[in-house]
Structure 1
Amino acid sequence: MKIPVIVIGGPTASGKTQLAIEWALKLGGEIISCDSRQIYKYMDIGTAKPTLQERELVPHHLIDIIYPDEVMSAGEFQKLARRCIEDIYARGKIPFLVGGTGLYIRAVIRDIDFPPKVGENFREMIKEKIRREGLSNVYSELVEVDPATASKISPNDEIRITRALEVYYATGKPISFYRRGIDIDYPRYDIVYFVLNPPRDLLYKRIEERVDKMIQLGLIEETKNILEMGYSPDLPSLQTLGYREIIKYLQGIYDLESAVEEIKKETRRYAKRQLTWFRNETRVRLITYEEVEDAFCEISRYRK
């Protein structure tokens, strides 16, 4: 029997958390956060984590699981999330996947195999080959061993060319082999995938209000505290939206007003990119706020 998995995606500030809590309470569900920043400890305000009160209402998973100087690949997230899904369902609950990181959602619900970790020696070997023979010759080699991947990579994209070839050298299989299930649902799951799609002007208003609230709640102090713990401001986790602008404010590069306006501007751009991602996904249903009730009727059959 397949496990029902309800997915709620959407751009930042669209109301995913509130909707997921409402539905999970009605259906007897638990929430798995699919957010590439809420995985970090200490980064609470800037990532808009559910409050402790919200987490008491409905259990949330995969929040606060690594430190700011650690990294998590989509493959690692896939394993953790699928374990959570099995555990939640085994306890008689409905798993909800909720978040704005489309790559994490795709990793969990599609039948994707991720290549194993590749040793640094393979990467260095390819970099040396590029230095010796030139990027165009190395790209030609990728065309020969993995034409499907090469067709999607610019001949000038050294990082992706290197990644594709290191996987091939390490495993003997092209990286396209591991991505062949990208549009196929994971066979263990019965997936219902909704994406919140509010009107742009309303979404932008919600974004502005959220950023203002983050400042009021103490985003500046939170960022200071993380830096005072000894974490480098150059860490990938701290060079994400909100934190990087506040760090520039703390460094004297921005005044506070400029930092806040920059966060709002970049958050609007990020929301646009998120919607583009979700619209390009297969078997998703974009819903407006007016369509939420009808959407819930579709999943009410899963009520525990």
Structure 2
Amino acid sequence: MTLPCAVVIAGPTASGKSGLALALAVAFDGVVINADSMQVYDALPILTARPGPAHLARAPHRLYGLIDPAEPCSAARWRDLATAEINAAWNSNRLPVVVGGTGLYLEALMDGLSPIPEIPPEARAEARTLFETLGNAAFHHRLAEIDPVMAARLPLGDSQRMIRAWEVLSATGRSLAAWQTEPREGAVAARWLTLALAPQRERLRQACDGRFLAMVNAGAVAEARDFLARNLDPVLPIMKALGLRDLGSYCQGERPLDEAIAAAQSATRAYAKRQMTWVRHRLKPDIVLDAQLSESLMTTIFMKVRQFRLTPV
């Protein structure tokens, strides 16, 4: 049986993924499906670089601004939503174009996830409360006492994954590390063409810095101020949106704006570096694009996509 086709576009932040996804969707009657863990939330459209009205008007876009920011979106939940959108695209004879820089989401889609049972809300709430009570370092120390394997894998600042490790052990009696050794489940059966944008380091650094300045000019400071005024749980995933805490520190008078911008730019560059590491070592893309997108390069990409769709397995 010949599997249906889907395209995945990955790469670091500020590399041009959204623009390439839109171009492919327009050229191949496609549907753009978001795989960015921040853009799924109905909040911070500027800071998360969510596609604007001009993009949305040119091709269908799915899974953007969908989930209340007070609600965590797990990789399993996103995978289920994305699977439904991919099937809907196929049923409409459209090409799914999955785009985003969240590696865990893409792995969940193409490779599946470990079969961890659904964690009861009370166990999740208990883990979050304990983290808030103990604080980062003490919580990590406590986790190391009961689950040394997971604690050794998680840096002190990774509060979300530390809480996840605690809640899984508490609810299932088994370490997350042990669950992760189980065969993965739930991968979408498709023929995947994976494209990775991999700009040269200096060009990517400049793109990260320039994009954040553009966000500030577009109103990111007011956006951050208004969002933080909602006083949401600080361990929610949306609170890790790049630049949010840095601009928040400026809004609270803790540092001047130029220092806040510089800190956010530095964090963005560091995040882009981690994304590039994932692309190189985990994704193993079919096509790596390390040059500036141009008309001639787009022509080559379109040709490869056409060949992929026409080539039977």
Q: TM-score, normalised by structure 2?
A: 0.79
Shift of 1:211: 0.8
Going from structure 1 to structure 2, the CA distance change for 1:225 and 1:89 (only over 3 Å counts) comes to same
Shift of 1:10: 0.3
SS at match of 2:152: coil
Going from structure 1 to structure 2, the CA distance change for 1:39 and 1:122 (only over 3 Å counts) comes to closer
1:179-190 correspondence to structure 2 within 5 Å:
180-181=183-184, 186=187, 188-190=189-191
Alignment-derived partner of residue 143 in structure 1 = none
Going from structure 1 to structure 2, the CA distance change for 1:137 and 1:226 (only over 3 Å counts) comes to closer
**Number of matched pairs:** 282
Going from structure 1 to structure 2, the CA distance change for 1:191 and 1:223 (only over 3 Å counts) comes to same
Alignment-derived partner of residue 289 in structure 1 = 291
Amino acid in the other structure paired with 1:98: V
1:92-111 correspondence to structure 2 within 5 Å:
92-111=93-112
- Tell me the alpha carbon deviations over residues 243-286 of structure 1, each in whole angstroms, 9 at most, x when there is no partner: 11111100111111111111111111110011111111144132
Structure 2: which 5+ runs fail to align? 131-138, 156-161
Going from structure 1 to structure 2, the CA distance change for 1:219 and 1:282 (only over 3 Å counts) comes to closer
Alignment-derived partner of residue 176 in structure 1 = 180
Structure 1: which 5+ runs fail to align? 141-149
Preserved CA contact (<8 Å) 1:3 1:190: yes
Shift of 1:296: 3.1
Report the identity percentage.
Answer: 27
Alignment-derived partner of residue 50 in structure 1 = 51
Shift of 1:118: 2.0
Preserved CA contact (<8 Å) 1:24 1:58: yes
Shift of 1:105: 1.0
Going from structure 1 to structure 2, the CA distance change for 1:72 and 1:95 (only over 3 Å counts) comes to same
Larger Rg: 1
Going from structure 1 to structure 2, the CA distance change for 1:263 and 1:155 (only over 3 Å counts) comes to closer
- Tell me the alpha carbon deviations over residues 197-232 of structure 1, each in whole angstroms, 9 at most, x when there is no partner: 01111111111110111011100111223234x343
Going from structure 1 to structure 2, the CA distance change for 1:156 and 1:105 (only over 3 Å counts) comes to closer
Preserved CA contact (<8 Å) 2:70 2:233: no
Q: Distance in 2 between matches of 1:139 and 1:299?
A: 46
Amino acid in the other structure paired with 1:297: M
Alignment-derived partner of residue 85 in structure 1 = 86
Alignment-derived partner of residue 234 in structure 1 = 234
Alignment-derived partner of residue 245 in structure 1 = 246
Going from structure 1 to structure 2, the CA distance change for 1:222 and 1:24 (only over 3 Å counts) comes to same
Going from structure 1 to structure 2, the CA distance change for 1:124 and 1:225 (only over 3 Å counts) comes to closer
SS at match of 1:246: helix
Alignment-derived partner of residue 61 in structure 2 = 60
Alignment-derived partner of residue 154 in structure 1 = 152
Shift of 1:113: 4.5
Going from structure 1 to structure 2, the CA distance change for 1:187 and 1:243 (only over 3 Å counts) comes to closer
